[in-house]
A and B are shown apart, each in its own frame.
Chain A
Amino acid sequence: MSKTITIDGNIIPFEDGQTIMEAATAAGVYIPHLCHHPEYTPHGSCKLCTVKVNGRICSACTFPAMEGQDVLNNTKELTDDRQKITQMLFVEGNHFCPSCEKTGNCQLQAVAYHLNMLDNHFPLFYPSREMDSSHPDVMIDHNRCIFCTLCVRASQEKDGKDVFAISGRGINKHLIVNAQSGLLKDTDIDATDQAAHICPTGAILIKRTGYQVPIGERIYDHKQIDQVSLETEHQHGE
């Protein structure tokens, strides 16, 4: 008999070595997340996937599933907290959805909708951040970076390169690129790299593809992120 945990009272099977997130995804249970992606080493930084394991708060994407775990996921308390964490991500950067090319395809926006986030709640930081449009095919809008490190991991783990890194401390964290000039054009990134496509927000965009899919016909215009996430990530959990 396979080993099991419970999530919100439902029995979920798992295999040794799986995280709570992996076991949940494989069983068709959605746990909100942004920095997690099934193809990459878990990071555990966005804290959206916070769950309660036997009363203790843990990140589902990094915490191993173990026999006897009673996991709370879809509770009002956790949803409220996840909403506030999402609001933190919004106020920290400059996220103006209506003018962003990523709108409708943006995971940050989709998670916010999923969690029923209706305002920013916290005062906005209005940080002064730059754009890097030096590269012929790929651009970075630092205003929208949430430091999830997915581009860092994708470049290292999938593309076999080392284009991105997160530098700085605390609220001064920022994305840097691996070039002496500090500009994307002097890195070895290609528009076909995974790292150029993995960004869950509109921080890294491919040039000259803007609005090819009209607003209203984008991924999250018709589906909630939990449904999309389970459809696309399900296979990885198995």
Chain B
Amino acid sequence: MKQFIQDLAETNRYQATHLLHILREVQSRYHYIPEAAIEQIAELLNISRTQIIGVVEFYSFFHLTPRGQYDLLISDSITDHMLGKQSLIDYLSEKLNVAIGKVRQDGVVSLDNTSCTGMCDQGPAGLINGYALTRLDRPKIDQITDLINQQKPLDQWPGKLFHVDDNIIESGLLLSQSINQGSALQSALKRGLKETLTELDKSGLRGRGGAGFKTATKWKFCSEEHENQRYVVCNADEGEPGTFKDRVLLNSYAHQVFEGMTLCAAIISAQQGFLYLRGEYLHLYDKLQSVLNERRQAGLLGNNILNEGFNFDIEICLGAGAYICGEESALIESLEGKMGIPRNRPPYPVTQGYLGKPTVVNNVETFMAAASIAINGGDWFAKVGTEKSKGTKILSICGDCSRPGIYEYPFGTSIQSVLNDCGASDVLGIQIGGPSGTFISNKEFDRKLAFEDLATGGSFIVFNNSRNILDIVNNFTHFFAHESCGFCTPCRVGTSLLKKQLDKIIDGHGSAGDVVALEELCQLIKNHSHCGLGQTAANPVLTTLQRYPELYESRLKEISYEPGFDLDGALETARRLAKRNDAGAHLVQVEE
């Protein structure tokens, strides 16, 4: 191991910023991060062991105790549940003879749940040693079980287990026109970089990650900072459950995304860029590396790009299972090899980002759009959409519809027309923008896709009338509690309290005051949390409570008060110690 880590550190130039990369390699080889490895890495990178332990314990894909040689994770997204995930994982657990969350005694296999893997259009999905598995069913599970029990190396597994479809169904402005490599840069250089920024401004392009900050303004602010070092970061940490558009864009439009990043670099004078790719998209990594190599060979990356004397290159950094890293300042922390904890703002990344230097962080789709705008001009983009939301939006549509996949629409398109296209009928409601977004009921389908009405980073999950809203809310609420970084009190404690309070109501232990208490808690988390995660974590409850209060109330008991404390449950330890389970060893909480 010593030599392995020594070599690993050397290839990573002993850079502490590469800690996640190094740990990914160690985890993949040893199936955990051994204590000796921590000590050695700390010494080689000249960082403290506590920073390494902190990182290992922060990211879901790192472990201090061994996982199986085959570490199998099943996506816990609501859409996977709707496709029968629960019975599949139970079946898997039985077939493989391993409990969920555990490692089999022989150390060969481990099984667990994981947050949405971004395969909602082809679920139930999972990951095996980080590689995406799609369209899981019982025959595939039988096959996987055999492969694992034969201990066949992963690279000898049949390719169809790992097959990922793009599922592009509706193309618009961006998806229908693929650009020639280098043409966006050539157009921009021909027009002039300043003039291109003006075109970008004219296009009205706003950030596609969901927050909607004007892209040209962000680039301009960054370029005006008095620093000689600047960075361009592409946020491909697409973790919002129900979103998978960036997966498709990076699979089929990577050149254009990288070109958008290079364009940004030229405009703001940056020399280094990063693609922060979520760990769940490991299957794209090699392909993206070869796209980067192609571009270097074509003179579109590296030194003296297009013989215009500017230098820029892009490095791909893989995440390791943390939704919070989609938040731009947490992403930057992660790029620096740290836990993904959102920073205090101000300062904003445009003034102090990666390593304290001005940094532009944009979504995959934003960079792609910027490249197209550089070719076609601002008006081409701005003439589509609404007054406040120019251009198109690429949606990831999944859930109860016959044609899940990627759809590109002009902003201002009504929800009803989207539903018609994707083959959704008998619709109960839609989750727009993922769990952190809004749940709309079937009375709101005349609403529009737009920053000023229904903003979305791309997630669009359809639910039909057979679905139970409280199950959906419960899944989302548990997701946020699991993904809270824990930095601030309202989110760390609040999301866990919210989970408990919701469970209490759903399990039928709620009483009159409990819905009020639920709402109070939601407001507290929303108002006081440090970052967007906490500020939106209560949205699933709040948006459904507003629309379906009767649903929550129907679960309440007709008594005025039931304590949150489970008296009988608390006696469990005592019963176990006393080896008793008779009637006398149980207590009824409240006389009904």
Binding site for B on A (CB under 8 A): 42, 44-48, 50, 57, 59, 62-64, 81, 84-85, 88-89, 91-92, 122-125, 146-147, 162, 164-173, 176-178, 180
Do residues B50 and A88 form an inter-chain contact, with CB atoms below 8 A? no
The 8 nearest A-B residue pairs measured at CB: A123-B564, A165-B50, A88-B493, A173-B486, A170-B484, A62-B344, A167-B54, A170-B486
Do residues B493 and A91 form an inter-chain contact, with CB atoms below 8 A? yes
Contacts A88-B494, A170-B496 supplied; 4 other A-B pairs, CB < 8 Å = A48-B489, A123-B564, A168-B57, A168-B58
Chain B at the A interface: mostly helix, strand, loop or mixed? helix
- The docked-state distance in angstroms from the alpha carbon of A45 to that of B484 is 13
Tell whether A45 pairs with B57 under 8 Å between CB atoms, given A88-B494, A170-B486, A178-B50: no
CB of B527 within 8 Å of the partner chain: yes
CB of B482 within 8 Å of the partner chain: yes
Taking CB atoms, residues of chain B closer than 8 Å to A42 are 344
CB of B162 within 8 Å of the partner chain: no
Question: Which of A45, A89, A92, A166 is the one whose CB lies under 8 Å from B530?
Answer: A45
CB of B53 within 8 Å of the partner chain: yes
CB of B327 within 8 Å of the partner chain: no
CB of B524 within 8 Å of the partner chain: yes
CB of B79 within 8 Å of the partner chain: no
B357 shortest CB reach to chain A, Å? 19
Taking CB atoms, residues of chain B closer than 8 Å to A178 are 48-50
Taking CB atoms, residues of chain B closer than 8 Å to A172 are 57, 486
Do residues B492 and A165 form an inter-chain contact, with CB atoms below 8 A? no
Question: Which of A59, A125, A167, A168 is the one whose CB lies under 8 Å from B496?
Answer: A125
Tell whether A171 pairs with B486 under 8 Å between CB atoms, given A45-B530, A124-B565: yes
Do residues A169 and B57 form an inter-chain contact, with CB atoms below 8 A? yes
Taking CB atoms, residues of chain B closer than 8 Å to A45 are 487-489, 530
B566 shortest CB reach to chain A, Å? 9
B36 shortest CB reach to chain A, Å? 10
Question: Which of B51, B322, B490, B500 is the one whose CB lies under 8 Å from A123?
Answer: B500
Taking CB atoms, residues of chain A closer than 8 Å to B496 are 92, 125, 170-171
Taking CB atoms, residues of chain B closer than 8 Å to A123 are 497, 500, 564-565
Tell whether A166 pairs with B54 under 8 Å between CB atoms, given A88-B494, A125-B496, A171-B481: yes
Taking CB atoms, residues of chain B closer than 8 Å to A47 are 488-490, 528-530
CB of B35 within 8 Å of the partner chain: yes
- The docked-state distance in angstroms from the alpha carbon of A183 to that of B53 is 14
Question: Which of A46, A81, A146, A167 is the one whose CB lies under 8 Å from B57?
Answer: A167
Sample (28) of A-B pairs whose CB atoms are under 8 Å apart: A47-B488, A47-B528, A48-B489, A59-B530, A85-B524, A88-B490, A88-B493, A92-B496, A122-B521, A123-B497, A124-B565, A147-B492, A162-B48, A164-B50, A165-B54, A166-B54, A167-B50, A167-B53, A167-B54, A168-B58, A168-B486, A169-B59, A170-B486, A176-B50, A177-B50, A178-B50, A180-B39, A180-B49
- The docked-state distance in angstroms from the alpha carbon of A62 to that of B343 is 10
Question: Which of B54, B346, B492 is the one whose CB lies under 8 Å from A171?
Answer: B492
Do residues A44 and B344 form an inter-chain contact, with CB atoms below 8 A? yes
